[in-house]
Amino acid sequence: MTGLFDDLRDLYQEVILDHGRKPRNFGALEGANREAHGHNPLCGDKLDVRLLVKDGIVEDVKFEGAGCAISVASASLMTTQAKGKTAAEVQALYKNFHEIVTTGKEQEEISDLAAFAGVHAFPARIKCATAKPTRTEPPASESQGRRSPPSVWTLASRP
Smallest distance from Zn ion to CB 7, Å? 26
Site for Zn ion in 98-157 (CB under 5 A): 128
**Three-state DSSP class for residue 14:** helix
Residue from 51, 60, 65, 71 touching Zn ion (CB under 5 A): that is 71
Q: Does 65 bind Zn ion (CB under 5 A)?
A: no
Smallest distance from Zn ion to CB 47, Å? 10
Q: Does 32 bind Zn ion (CB under 5 A)?
A: no
> Nearest Cα to 16, choosing from 63, 72, 66, 94?
72
Q: Does 48 bind Zn ion (CB under 5 A)?
A: no
Q: Considering only 38-46, 53-61, 76-84, 92-100, which stretch makes contact with Zn ion by CB under 5 A? A: 38-46
Q: Does 69 bind Zn ion (CB under 5 A)?
A: no
**Three-state DSSP class for residue 81:** helix
Smallest distance from Zn ion to CB 54, Å? 32
Q: Does 87 bind Zn ion (CB under 5 A)?
A: no
Smallest distance from Zn ion to CB 88, Å? 28
Nearer to Zn ion (CB atom), residue 32 or residue 69: 69
DSSP 84-144: TSBHHHHHHHHHHHHHHHHH----GGGGGGGGGGGGGG-HHHHHHHH--BSSPPPGGGGGG
Nearer to Zn ion (CB atom), residue 49 or residue 128: 128
φ/ψ bin of 55: left (φ > 0), alpha (ψ from -120 to 50), beta (otherwise) = left
> Nearest Cα to 87, choosing from 63, 56, 132, 60?
56
Smallest distance from Zn ion to CB 142, Å? 25
With contact defined as beta carbons under 8 Å apart, do 131 and 47 qualify? yes
Residues that bind Zn ion (CB under 5 A): 43, 45, 68, 71, 128
